[in-house]
């Protein structure tokens, strides 16, 4: 069906000409565009993208606890179902030096200890070989396993969204311990941290450093905080941007709640020499193994933005990754390494449309 003239004036505009942004204040003139600098390459190792193993059990806990808008600290999550999300990012600078960033610290300490060990994270933390940790957002599966990181380096610098709730900061800094009642009235331990964070805590806001909207953390690397409301009473997400030499802009996300195309739209408007290239992480789409026409919209949009490499996992949803790959989106396929781990997600599929536990991608 062809669009009529009056519909052209509507909000629905051509994707190729997309110039939207999350916030009006983010728009800048061409002359003010930001120069991120450059890195030679970015490697992402998947420490764990499996935040929970049984999707149906997770949804049942959430439903019994009051639904998607309920505080995550009041739901009796089944501890046996907890995994966690974390990734190790290795940046090679133009000078050839390697810098490491830990993205998130997962949920279950038992699981995180296990997956950290597989990737040698404890030793890197103890030796100070990880320069800092970025907390993408304050969701349980990204934060509640913080003890697994801090017990190896309680002074690690952490960059986190300033939009925390009191429980979040108590867990991070004050030996927080949280329980919730299950249906039988029993206390279920949700999260604890016996090793308070004692290092520098950088709290990020949408305004960024010097009102640039960004936090430049090293040449070619920046954090952008998108202040969006998120399910389970969480707010705001940090996103990592990289400008990779001869390739272009790469995003690395925890859950990408703001939307992958909004991230690239922001980059298009604000970054000097913007060239879309790749994305890694959860994309927060069909995570509950259901579908919606808006997920088809994202597939069409990603193709229009001409990304070259999309390494998706976690809350992206296997359905979306498979359908996107079938539609021509350059999805980076994973391997069967995840099958060597002691537990796997029940929704994992033979298609390897996810870059999953034990895999890595280089941008």
Partner 1 sequence: MSSAIAETAGAGHARGGELAGALLGALNLAVAFGITWALWLLVLHPNGVLKLYTPMYGFSLVAVLVAVLVAMARVGEGWPLRASALAPPVRGVVATAIALALTAFIVHGFFWGFLGRFGVTYFSPRAIIAAGGVGAEFFNARENASTAIVYFAAAFLWLSLSVSIGFGTWPWQSTPPNVRAFSRLSVVTLLAVVAYAVLFHPHVTQLFYPAQIMAGAPPWWAALAQTGSAYFNLGWVMTAVAVLVVTEILWGGWPWRLLGGDSGPLRGLAALVGSLAGGVVLFVASLKAMTAFWGEPFQGGQYTDAPYFRYLHAAEISGFVVLSAFALDTYFGAARGAAGRAIRTAVALGGAAALHLFYYSSAATRLLGKVPGIAQPEDTSLVWTLLFLAIVLVQRDLFGGWPLRRGGTAA
The residues of the shown chain that bind partner 1, judged by CB under 8 A, are 1-4, 6-7, 9-15, 17-24, 27, 56, 59-60, 62-63, 65-71, 74, 163, 227-231, 233-235, 257-262, 265, 286, 288-294, 296-302, 304-305, 319
* 3-state SS class at 200: coil
d(CA 295, CA 297): 5
Contact 343, 53 (CB under 8 A): yes
Nearest to 101 by CA among 207, 215, 266: 215
Question: 6 vs 96, which CB is nearer to partner 1?
Answer: 6
Please give the C-alpha separations between residue 260 and each of 15, 86, 226, in angstroms, as whole numbers.
14, 19, 12
Cα–Cα distance measured from residue 203 to residue 133, given in angstroms and rounded to the nearest whole number: 12
Least distance from partner 1 to the Cβ atom of residue 230, Å = 7
Compare residues 218 and 346 and give the one whose CB is closer to partner 1.
346
Given the complex with partner 1, which of 54 and 113 has the nearer CB atom?
Answer: 54
CB of 27 or CB of 40, closer to partner 1: 27
Using the minimum distance from each CB to partner 1, give the nearer residue, 195 or 304: 304
Q: Which is nearer to partner 1, 101 or 252 (CB)?
A: 252
Distances in Å between the alpha carbon of 308 and those of 98, 250, 278, 303? Answer: 24, 10, 6, 9
Nearer to partner 1, 50 or 55 (CB): 55
State the nearest-atom distance from the C-beta of 195 to partner 1, in Å: 29
- Least distance (Å) between residue 45 CB and partner 1: 27
Shortest distance (Å) from residue 91 CB to partner 1 = 27
Which of 6, 95 has the CB closer to partner 1? 6
DSSP H or E run through 45: strand 39-48
Structure tokens at 138: 């304050």
We find the least distance from the C-beta atom of residue 220 to partner 1, in angstroms, to be: 26
Contacts of 3 (CB under 8 A, 6+ apart): none
Q: Please, which residues have CB within 8 angstroms of residue 227's CB and are 6 or more apart in sequence?
A: 23, 161, 163, 205, 206, 235, 236
CB of 258 to partner 1, least distance (A): 6
DSSP 122: H
DSSP bridge pairs for 279: 251, 310
Task: Select from 148, 152, 92, 158 the least CA-distant residue to 128.
Answer: 152
Q: Distance (Å, rounded) from C-alpha 76 to C-alpha 1?
A: 49
Shortest Å, Cβ 125 to partner 1: 32
What residue has token string 């970054």? 271
* Residue 168 CB, nearest approach to partner 1 (Å): 13
């Amino acid at each position: 069906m062809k669009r009529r003239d009056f519909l052209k004036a509507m909000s629905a505009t051509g994707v190729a000409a997309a110039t939207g942004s999350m916030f009006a204040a983010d728009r800048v003139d061409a002359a003010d565009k930001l120069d991120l600098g450059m890195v030679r390459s970015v490697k992402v190792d998947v420490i764990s993208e499996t935040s929970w193993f049984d999707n149906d059990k997770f949804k049942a806990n959430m439903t019994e606890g009051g639904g998607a808008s309920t505080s995550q600290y009041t739901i009796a999550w089944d501890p046996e179902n907890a995994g966690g999300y974390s990734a190790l990012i290795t940046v090679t600078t133009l000078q050839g030096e390697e810098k490491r960033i830990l993205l998130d610290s997962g949920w279950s300490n038992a699981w995180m200890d296990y997956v950290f060990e597989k990737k040698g994270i404890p030793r890197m933390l103890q030796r100070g070989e990880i320069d800092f940790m970025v907390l993408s957002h304050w969701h349980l599966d990204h934060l509640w396993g913080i003890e697994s990181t801090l017990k190896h380096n309680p002074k690690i610098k952490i960059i986190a969204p300033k939009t925390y709730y009191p429980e979040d900061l108590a867990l991070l800094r004050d030996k927080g311990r949280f329980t919730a009642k299950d249906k039988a009235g029993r206390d279920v331990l949700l999260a604890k941290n016996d090793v308070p964070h004692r290092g520098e805590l950088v709290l990020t806001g949408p305004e960024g450093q010097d009102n640039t909207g960004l936090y430049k953390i090293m040449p070619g690397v920046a954090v952008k905080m998108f202040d969006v409301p998120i399910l389970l009473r969480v707010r705001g997400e940090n996103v990592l941007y990289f400008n990779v030499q001869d390739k272009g802009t790469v995003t690395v996300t925890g859950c990408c709640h703001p939307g992958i195309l909004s991230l690239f739209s922001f980059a298009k408007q604000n970054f000097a020499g913007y060239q879309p290239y790749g994305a890694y992480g959860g994309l927060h789409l069909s995570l509950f193994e259901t579908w919606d026409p808006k997920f088809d919209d994202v597939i069409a949009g990603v193709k229009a933005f001409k990304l070259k490499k999309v390494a998706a996992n976690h809350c992206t949803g296997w359905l979306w990754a498979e359908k996107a790959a079938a539609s021509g989106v350059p999805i980076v396929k994973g391997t069967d390494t995840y099958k060597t781990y002691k537990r796997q997600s029940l929704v994992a599929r033979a298609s390897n449309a996810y870059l999953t536990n034990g895999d890595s991608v280089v941008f």
